[in-house]
């Protein structure tokens, strides 16, 4: 049975038990609301966390899966989009006294999962989602939804081509 080890925050875990017995694996599983936005989407509802904590030489290995749902806006037409994700992650938390370039820290026998979750889940979310692959978007001039049909706007002209357009008109007619 997986029992979450929790302290004052559900994302800060007490790893003393793991640190005192190298090689021991401690499974944890729980759901928690996480406020995370990436591009045009944000998490919707609780994030399901299913991890294993393991003491290794020089720290604690945290690995497992995180899953949840997201909502947002289509990058082309701005209609609502939603979906689910399931991402695996693995990170090493090292004591804060060690000298190292980057990573996550064990402080006072606790690990804070929030930075790992933000890094791992943030990369799993679609930054620029589409409501459907063939979304036509909106007209940049009048804002009409081009998925519902063409708008009445004239095709935009680029004044930089005006000299060539005049030459084309002379040749055609």
Burial of 61 (0-12, 13-18, 19+ CB in 10 A): middle
Whether pLDDT at 112 is above 80: yes
Report yes or no: 132 and 123 within 8 Å, Cβ to Cβ: no
Which is more confident, 132 or 16?
132
d(CA 58, CA 74): 44
Distances (CA, A) of 143 to 40, 92, 154, 158: 19, 48, 13, 19
Q: What is the spatial distance between Cα 173 and Cα 33, in angstroms, rounded to a whole number?
A: 68
pLDDT greater than 90 at residue 98: no
Question: The whole model's pTM is what?
Answer: 0.74
Q: Are strands 80-95 and 104-107 parallel, antiparallel or unpaired?
A: parallel
In this structure, of 6-10, 21-25, 100-104, the range with the lowest mean pLDDT score is: 6-10
Of the candidates 58, 56, 57, 53, which has an alpha carbon nearest to the alpha carbon of residue 15?
53
């Amino acid at each position: 049975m997986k029992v979450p080890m929790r302290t004052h925050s559900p994302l800060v875990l007490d790893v003393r038990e793991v640190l005192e017995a190298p090689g021991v694996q401690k499974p944890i599983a729980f759901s928690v609301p996480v406020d995370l936005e990436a591009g045009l989407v944000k998490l919707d509802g609780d994030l399901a966390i299913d991890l294993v904590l393991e003491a290794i030489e020089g720290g604690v290995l945290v690995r497992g899966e995180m899953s949840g749902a997201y909502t947002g806006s289509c990058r082309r037409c701005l209609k609502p989009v939603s979906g689910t994700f399931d991402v695996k992650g693995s990170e090493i938390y090292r004591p804060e006294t060690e000298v190292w370039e980057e990573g996550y820290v064990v402080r006072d026998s606790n690990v804070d999962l929030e930075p790992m979750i933000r890094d791992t889940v943030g990369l799993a979310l679609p930054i620029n989602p589409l409501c459907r692959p063939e979304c036509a978007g909106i007209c940049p001039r009048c804002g009409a939804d081009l998925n519902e049909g063409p708008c009445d706007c004239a095709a935009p002209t680029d004044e930089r081509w005006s000299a060539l357009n005049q030459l084309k008109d002379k040749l055609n007619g």
